[in-house]
Amino acid sequence: MIGVRRKPDPQGQPGFIRIDTVHQGDQDGKKGLYHINAVDEVTQFEVVFTVERISEHFMIPALAALLETFPFQLLGFHADNGSEYINRRVAELLEKLRIELTKSRSRHCNDNALAESKNAAVVRKILGYCHIPQKFAPQVNRFNQEHLVPYVNYHRPCFFPEIITDAKGRQKKLYRYEHMTTPYEKLKSLPNAAQFLKPGLTFQSMDDIAYAISDNEAAKRLQEARHQLFESIDERLLAG
């Protein structure tokens, strides 16, 4: 059996990512490109990669690069039961990196809810629902790495839930505005946070990225880059 069927338990430690695939629409019987969306459960640090297809030829190199993009050591990789993730090639890649593969449990439809919520709040909000032909995957992926990923991690605040347990042991999540922060600031706020970073990486070097421009300027640049991306795609489609 490939992967352990259980919910991850990070216990406040970063490095346990949830991953899901977002398909960019069909048109005239032709498949669009695919986005791989991975989110750390504790910090909500997020990495989005775009591939032409979800075959092993495209997925394995993309996953290797995606895993390398996270600034901290990865310990867990949780997916639904899709064959693009639950297969021997992915299992071998994760085993080589000493990352545990877990998968959603039967009759637990919210096991991968964090990744699915980010599909809507980030991927769909920025890249939409319309069909994008597969040949544009490299161009979209450059946009992701140069603009989208830095923006969502260093400049976009997220809600972080506070779990309240009542007298009967029932748990409830509260989302308070005062707990909103960026994934990067959340990472820095963890006890002994520096110990989780990958070798050679420091918060000082990451601060240079995070604080080089304001959040408003980062949002402006993201929208400008998004406009240029879709304008370029439309021009190439019209040119045939």
Residue-wise burial string across 123-158, b where 16 or more C-beta atoms lie within 10 A, e elsewhere? beebbeeebbbbebbeebbebbbebbbbbbbbbbeb
pLDDT digits (tens, 9 = 90+) for 91-134: 999 999 999 999 987 666 677 889 999 999 999 999 999 999 99
CATH, domain range 4-159+214-239: 3.30.420.10
Domain spans in the chain, listed from the N-terminal domain onward: 4-159+214-239
Check residue 109 and give its pLDDT: 62
The chain-wide mean pLDDT, for the chain, equals: 94
Element (H, E) at 239: helix 215-239
- 184, two tokens: 């990067």
Check residue 166 and give its pLDDT: 76
- Weakly modelled stretches of the chain, pLDDT under 70: 106-109
pLDDT digits (tens, 9 = 90+) for 180-193: 999 999 999 999 99
Q: What is d(CA 47, CA 141) in angstroms, rounded to the nearest whole number? A: 11
Check residue 179 and give its pLDDT: 86
pTM value is 0.93
